[in-house]
Structure formats: structure tokens, C-alpha cells
Amino acid sequence: MLRFMVRRLFTLIPVMFGVTLVIFFLSYISLGDPVRAMMGQRGDPEVIAQIRQDYGLDLPFYQQYTRYLGNLLQGDLGRSYRLQRRVSEMIIERLPATLRLATAAMLLAVVCGCTAGILAALRPSSWIDHLVMVVSLFGISTPVFWSGLMLILLFASQWRWFPISGYGDGGLWHLILPAITLGALQTGYIARMTRSSLRDVMHQDYMQTARAKGLREHIIICKHGLKNAAIPVVTVMGISFADLLTGAPLTETIFAWPGIGRMMVSAVGNRDFPVVMGCTLVFALVYVMANLVVDMLYTWLDPRIRYDQKA
Amino acid sequence: MTPLRQHPSLLTGTILLLALLLTAIFAPWLTSSDPYLAAPWESLKPPQWSHPLGTDWLGRDIWSRVAHGARVSLQVGLMVEAIAVVIGVWVGALAAYYGGVFDILLMRLTDTFMAFPSLVLAIALMAVFQQPGLLNVIIVLSVLGWTPIARVVRGSVLGTKEQDFVHAIRAMGAGHGRVLFRHILPNCFAPIIVTATIGIAGNIVAEAGLSFLGFGTQPPTVSWGTMLAQGRNYLTVKPWVCIFPGLALMLTVLGFNLFGDGLRDVFDPRTRIAEKHRG
């Protein structure tokens, strides 16, 4: 297991190198001049040249990139053009809000999605099964920015159960609507995958054997069924976590949630490239790590998968 | 008609997509108002006979704007996917067919692109362009959209290239190009079509999402995402401004998802047989 983890971590190096290269390349080829944007059209050319020199923007590509990579290895993501603050500090400030939202959404998706999927799988072709399939299909097909607006309209504006937007004092009340918005899509995916995977497993020979042994149905389902049905579900959860990150900028913008997604959207509007690059890098890093965790979970769920043995 | 009758999801998806297609094509004839024409005296009217979906804050007919918005959504969805399929098929097919270093390099490139949450990278890419707009959205989404196709094609080509009929064609003296494009790729058609169909839905949502954030299609071009972004200010008082563009978007995505699911069932009878045995 340890060898697999180390090997898997090593495979991340070229991917993360590629990620930094893509991010830096985007910033390098960006058509707008950030210094010009910062200073305005009437900025003094000498001052502009000085700022370009200070930020290393006058250097050739490879020098700028190696400088960026060197700084990155020291945890330095640069300074915001607009706020003159360290990007790493800004991200550290905002990341907990994004992770809080993503974790709540994921928790909601896993609990609701798995429960709905199990109920549907245990009663094939029943009204529960049809209801789960239809609701999950709508969940998958509804864009987060529209479902967010509709939740605000119903639960915050019409019925006034929840606040319209904002972080508040960090309490649960402000978290519920954004988490439902962000988690709805994933709930749909997880419910469909749990249903399909558990239905496959229910007809396996070992399930019949467990029944023949006289085990109670709930023990058969929990101990033998769910664990064996879990691998495809875990895969979907990994993909779902990645999708959560995709939805984060939109959800955070709708609910004025102070996370890095919203910070990134503002930074793009302000052409604040160090902030855009920093946020993109953090999103990519979390995404890659989520996939790594999924790989680790496989070995726990299915002991037949032994990554540390050569095939 | 048989596949349509046997697959309710394919039938529903086809109906939704046909409705979308017809609305997009015949938008000028299906609507009585100009989608761009402001009529301030009719501002924020609720749905009524003359304006079936109401009017927005400038008095523009929402039905007319939703119908014309379908053109933009469909245009972006189809164009991006067409470009993505061309790039993805080339990358996936060449990587799988030639293998070795070529495969490793192309797949590491694919991995790199897949290491980003798609909308996050799309937002970052939009920052590169000084002016957001429809063309830039198409470029950005095409740059990002080819990776799932490349993976699917690579998998299919890897599976097909070792089959007996391919060896037989090679033994008959066929060149690499002929083997790959005339004999292997046509056998990978089904997974490409299914992935592309679901990809179109993703492109439409991505365009709307980018436009919603202000980085996509810009006014005066009508886009469902822009309509939602502008309608947000009136959400709590005149909700129809937001409800209908979003509903159109949801039904479109639903249509493509159902159509894609249905196609998968048609192309892969194992799914259908398994369902029958389990059900």
C-alpha cells in the first residue's frame, strides 16, 4: 500500500508540472497588459516599465517560468496586481470557506444519493425506483446557477426559511442552500450509480449463498452487497468531488460565498493574473488529490486490487 | 421507429431535441416580437397572451429571447463538439495505434488537461482574451472539450486494433492510414457518438455558465446564461425573468442526457439485457 502511494504520488509530478506550465502559459500569452490595466491608459510609461521590471514581466518566457516555479516550490504564488497582497495569503483566507461548502455538498450528496440509490435498488420497478430515477435525472440536468436561483426564490425569498446569500457568522443556516445547490448534481449521479451497482451485486452467487446461510436481509445488504457495490460508487464520488470544484465559482458567486471560486471570478474581471493562476492551481491540486484518495479507497474496498504487487 | 419505441429515454430525448431544433430554426417565425427591441412601457410584464413568458426590464419579449437564445446554445454546443471530436479522434486514435512514446506523450497531455476542473480552466482561459464573446467561448470550450473523446477513442482503438480482421487487412498489405481510418475507427463510432452527445449538453451548460459570470456571450447577443445573469436582479420580485431561460436550459440538457443514455442502450445491447434480467 505504501509503495503504491509513493508510486502514485510520483506519477503526479509530471501532471502537476504540466498544470503549472499550462497555467503559466495562459498568463504569459494573455492578450491584455495587466500593468496597463492596473495603471490605466494614461499611466506614465517610465512607471509602467518599472513595474514590469519589478514583477519580472520583461523577462523571456523560460526565465519567467523558472522564476514562477522556483517561487511556487517555496509556497510563493506571487502578489495580487490589484490588492498588492500575497496570493497565498488570500487563498489561505478563502480556502476554508470553499472546502466547507464542498464538504457539506459532498456529504449531502453521499448521504442522500446513496440512500435514494439503495431504496431504488431494493425495490426494482416500484414507484420509489421510478421516483429516484426521475428526480436524479432532473438533478443531473439542472445547471447549478439556475437551481441556486430557484432555491433562493423559493426558500429565501418566498418562504424566508434561509438567508438569501452571504456567509453570516459561519453558521449552518447560511450553508444549507449553497450546499444543496452545489450537491444536487452529484446526488443525482451517486443515486443512479448506487442503484445500478447494487442491482448488479444483488444477483451474484455470494448474495444467494448468504441468504441460504440464513443471514438477515439487512446484514446481507450492508455487509456483502454495499461493500461490493461500492467501487463504481466511489469512482463516481471522486468525479463528483471534481465536479463540485467546477460548480464552486458559480455557486459562490450566486450566494456571495467568500470562497476562492468567487475570488477567482473577481480576479478574472480585474485581470489580476497572479490571483487567477493561484486559484486555478489550487483547484487543480485539490482535483488531483481527490483522484488520489479515490485510488487509495479502491484498495481498502477491494482487497483483490493490490497495487503494490506487480501483475 | 423500433429503437425509439423500445427506449423511452431515447424517445423523450428525441422529442425534446426536435422541439429545441425546430425552435432554433424557426425562431423568427415562432415569435412575434424582436428579441432585441426594447419597449420600456412594457417593462417586467408577467406572462400574458401577447407575451407568453412575460417581458424583461427593458420590455423585451422573453419567449422571443428564449427562442433566439436556443440558436446560440445549439450553435455553441454543436460547433464545440464538432471541433472536439476532430481533435479527440486524432489524438486518441494516433496514441492508441502507434503506442509507445507517442501514446505516453499524448496521454500525459490529456491527463494534464483533465487535471483541471473544466469550468475553472475555462474561466482562466477566458481571462486570456481581452474581450469575451461567442467566438472566444467556442475556442475555449473546444480547447478543453476534446479530452473525453480522446480517452474513449484510445480505449476503443486499443481494443479493436488487435482483432483478427485488422490483422487480416494488414496481411493483405493495407497501409496504416487505411487500416486506421477505414477499418478501425468506423468500429469505434458508437462510443464516440454517445460521448459527443453528452458532451454537447456539457458545452451548452458551460457556455451558459461562462455567460452567467460575464465571461461568455456578451449583449446584445441573446444567450440563456446572460438572460439569467441580468434577470438575477429581479429574481425576488419578477421571477419569470429568471425562470424561463433556466427552464429552457434545463430541458435542453435533459434532452441531450436522455438522448445520450438512449443511444448508449441501443449501441450496447448488454445494458438492456442486464436491465431486463434484473428488473
Report how far residue A179's alpha carbon sits from residue A174's, in angstroms, rounded to the nearest whole number: 9
Which residues of B are less than 8 Å from A249 in CB distance?
A: 119-120, 123, 213
Q: Is residue A45 exposed (0-12), middle (13-18) or buried (19+ Cβ within 10 Å)? A: exposed
pLDDT digits (tens, 9 = 90+) for B117-142: 888 888 888 888 767 888 989 999 99
Q: Which amino acid is at B264?
A: R
Note whether B108 contacts A14, CB cutoff 8 Å.
Answer: yes
Which residues of A are less than 8 Å from B258 in CB distance?
A: 137
Cell of B149: 473523446
Contact of B91 with B146, CB cutoff 8 Å:
yes
B11 to chain A, any CB pair closer than 8 A? The answer is no
Whole-number Cα distances in Å, A111 to A189, A191, A242, A270, A281: 12, 10, 18, 39, 30
Which residues of A, range 224-243, sit inside 8 Å of B by Cβ?
Answer: 242-243
pLDDT digits (tens, 9 = 90+) for A86-139: 999 999 999 999 989 999 999 999 999 999 999 998 888 889 999 999 999 999
User: Hey, which residues does A79 pair with through a beta bridge?
Assistant: A86
For cell 417581458, what's the residue? B55
User: To the nearest whole number, what is the mean pLDDT of chain A?
Assistant: 84
pLDDT digits (tens, 9 = 90+) for A211-270: 888 888 888 888 788 878 877 788 778 777 777 877 888 999 999 999 999 999 999 888
Q: Which of A146, A263, A273 to mutate to test the interface with B (most CBs of B within 10 A)?
A: A146
Q: Which amino acid is at B216?
A: G
Is the pLDDT reported for residue A31 higher than 90? Answer: no
> DSSP letters of A2-24?
HHHHHHHHHHHHHHHHHHHHHHH
Question: What was the pLDDT predicted at B236?
Answer: 87
Q: Regarding predicted confidence, which is higher, B81 or A35?
A: B81
Is the pLDDT reported for residue A310 higher than 60? Answer: no
Contact of B160 with B188, CB cutoff 8 Å:
yes
CA angle A23, A61, A83 (to 5 degrees): 55
Nearest to A146 by CA among B203, B245, B200, B240: B245
Question: What was the pLDDT predicted at B253?
Answer: 94
Q: How many CB pairs under 8 A join A and B?
A: 148
Cell of A35: 500593468
Q: Which amino acid is at A142?
A: T
Report helix angle A273-301 to A260-270, nearest 10: 150
Domain ranges (residues) in chain B: 9-18+58-278
Q: Regarding predicted confidence, which is higher, A35 or B31?
A: B31
Question: What was the pLDDT predicted at A204?
Answer: 82
Nearest to B122 by CA among B106, B109, B138: B138
CATH match of B9-18+58-278 with 1.10.3720.10: yes
Is the pLDDT reported for residue A288 higher than 90? Answer: no
Quickly count helices (H) and strands (E) in chain A.
13, 0
pLDDT confidence tier of residue A199, bands split at 50, 70 and 90: confident
φ/ψ (deg, to 5) at B236: -80, -20
Note whether B115 contacts A16, CB cutoff 8 Å.
Answer: yes
Question: What was the pLDDT predicted at A302?
Answer: 67
Note whether B120 contacts A279, CB cutoff 8 Å.
Answer: yes
Task: For residues A271-290, give the mean pLDDT.
Answer: 86
Cell of B114: 483533465
Report how far residue B56's alpha carbon sits from residue B58's, in angstroms, rounded to the nearest whole number: 5
Minimum CA–CA partner of A239 in chain B:
B117
A150 to chain B, any CB pair closer than 8 A? The answer is yes
The single-letter DSSP state of residue B61 is B
B135 to chain A, any CB pair closer than 8 A? The answer is no
Question: What was the pLDDT predicted at A311?
Answer: 38
pLDDT tens for chain B, 279 residues: list them: 566 677 788 899 999 999 999 999 999 888 888 888 888 888 888 999 888 998 988 989 999 999 999 999 999 999 999 999 999 999 999 988 888 888 888 888 888 888 888 888 888 888 887 678 889 899 999 988 898 899 889 888 888 888 888 889 888 888 888 888 888 888 888 888 888 998 999 999 999 999 999 888 888 889 999 999 999 889 888 999 999 999 999 999 999 999 988 888 787 655 555 555 544
Question: What was the pLDDT predicted at A55?
Answer: 73
Task: For residues A61-87, give the mean pLDDT.
Answer: 87
**What's the predicted TM-score (pTM) here?**
0.87
pLDDT digits (tens, 9 = 90+) for B37-93: 888 888 888 999 888 998 988 989 999 999 999 999 999 999 999 999 999 999 999
